[in-house]
Amino acid sequence: MRGFLEIFKLEAMSLVRSKAFAMLLAFSVAWVVAMACVATGDGTAEGSREVFVRYSLGGVFYLLVVALLSSATGSLASERAANRLQLAMVRPVRYFHIALAKAAALTACGAVVLVVSAVAVCFRTGVSERCSHVLKPAMPSPREEAEAMYKTYMADPNTPAAVRHASKGVVLRLLANRAIDRYDTVGTNETATWRFPLQDVAGESALGAGLAVRARFTNRFDMRDEVRGVFRTGGLCGVASNITQAVVKVPLGGSAPAGEELSFQNLGASALMFRPRRDVELLVPADAFLMNLARALMELVAILALVVSFGVFLSASLGRPVALFVAMVVLVVAEMSPSVVEQYPDELETKASDRIGLVMTRFIEKVTRPVSSLNPIERLATDSCVEAREVADVIALDFVAVPVLLALVSAFVMPRKQE
């Protein structure tokens, strides 16, 4: 353990004494201050806060990801190239501790920069604003819905032969995407109803105060149109009076507690459409911004730990320039892959030459999805609660399990690369 601490200290000192840490810290604070002056949003206090939080912390986080990944890819490779790694490897220190300590030190430096930036953010936003638990309608998962649709298609004699003979996995993926984007239509004077697992977050009591609905309405032609209607749950209701294509927040008022179902009655002149999995959310009051910020920071630090561990693993396996190149390519592909996968959903219609790229992109998207789908900064900006249970899962996986696993693999690779 003493060896682990010494290597941790050495790595942190190298960042501090090379002035990289000071520069990172200064740039991050300057970025937050600049965003405080520049980010104005849509003119409302809420919109301005949202834009400021998104761009200030988002900018700092991306800077940290790139800077720490770059440092991590050099952590073992540069030491090896300078023949200093062998001096640690002949001491009674486990190779696993060497890899893990380097990753831990870089993560700790990143965490300090994030916390200082977050404090700077708090000066502009204040800390008392409340956030909300965001509930989605309780529905079967897209995969389950896709399975049911697949069975129906296969039982239907009119289903085209191309679909019948296509790979089941491909068809299920297409159907799952369709399930996510499926619209419910609510005609004039009609009512749509969704069930929400309200008890999961709010407990038995106080299911009335502060509830709101966040919804996005659309119509058949994706045009701007008038919206008039009423949301109801139990004894609470709220009037929606807005336009389509905009995200609106409708507070629910009343004296009775909320029910398990939320309904929307369309009182307007034309039919409205919702994608229930995307467009309807029930907002339940949670704790203050400061607590939400703390949870978001924990998630961000866990993600940094994962990124840094990956960099250290590459550094154990490859020379510095190659490790850095691979890390940056993976980072860019991971960042772009969700939109690539979304834009090319139908594998049946792509050329064979595109498939290799798509398969690789899908693979990276699948592997990085648990991390890329987290997005704590986005939720912090929109006052959506970063759930404690999710934070615990992220810490267990991204902060502990994967870094330890990568350190073990690095420890296996290190002596072989040293040869």
Partner 1 sequence: MDSGKNIVELRNVSRTFRDFWLRPTVKAVDGLTLDVRPGEVFGLLGPNGSGKSTTIKMILGLLRPSGGEVSLFGLSPRSVEARRRLGYLPELSYLHPFLTARETLMYYAGLCGLGRSEARKRTSQLLEMVGLEEAASRVVAGFSKGMSRRVALAASLVGRPDLLVLDEPTSGLDPVSTKEVKTLIKALSAGGMTILMTSHLLADAEDVCDRVMILNHGKSVAEGRVADLGTSLEEFFLAKVGDIEHFRLAPFLSQES
Q: Which residues bind partner 1 (CB under 8 A)?
A: 2-3, 5-7, 9-10, 13-14, 17-18, 82-84, 86-94, 415, 418-419
Q: Which is nearer to partner 1, 56 or 315 (CB)?
A: 315
Q: Which is nearer to partner 1, 92 or 203 (CB)?
A: 92
Runs of H (alpha helix) within 288-319: 289-317
For 331-370, give one letter per residue: b (16+ CB within 10 A) or e.
bebbeebbeebeeebebeeeeeeeeeebeebbebbeebee
The least CB distance from residue 214 to partner 1, in Å, is 51
The least CB distance from residue 93 to partner 1, in Å, is 5
Q: Which is nearer to partner 1, 84 or 366 (CB)?
A: 84
Q: Which is nearer to partner 1, 84 or 224 (CB)?
A: 84
The least CB distance from residue 65 to partner 1, in Å, is 25
Q: How many CA atoms lie within 13 A of 85 on its CB side?
A: 24
- Measured CA to CA, the distance from residue 256 to residue 47 in angstroms comes to 31
Hey, how many other C-beta atoms are within 10 angstroms of the C-beta on 8? 19
Q: Which of 370, 364, 377 is nearest to 399 (CA)?
A: 370
The least CB distance from residue 162 to partner 1, in Å, is 45
The least CB distance from residue 13 to partner 1, in Å, is 7
Q: Which of 58, 64, 57, 63 is nearest to 118 (CA)?
A: 57
- Measured CA to CA, the distance from residue 148 to residue 146 in angstroms comes to 5
Torsion of CA 365, 148, 273, 384, to 10 degrees: -50
Distance separating the N- and C-terminal Cα atoms of the chain: 26
- Measured CA to CA, the distance from residue 181 to residue 178 in angstroms comes to 5
Using alpha carbons only, give the angle 315, 319, 321 rounded to the nearest 5 degrees.
100
Q: Which of 157, 136, 306 is nearest to 215 (CA)?
A: 136
Q: Which is nearer to partner 1, 17 or 195 (CB)?
A: 17
The least CB distance from residue 18 to partner 1, in Å, is 7
Q: Which is nearer to partner 1, 397 or 408 (CB)?
A: 408
What tokens were used for 361? 């992109």
The least CB distance from residue 101 to partner 1, in Å, is 11
The least CB distance from residue 416 to partner 1, in Å, is 8
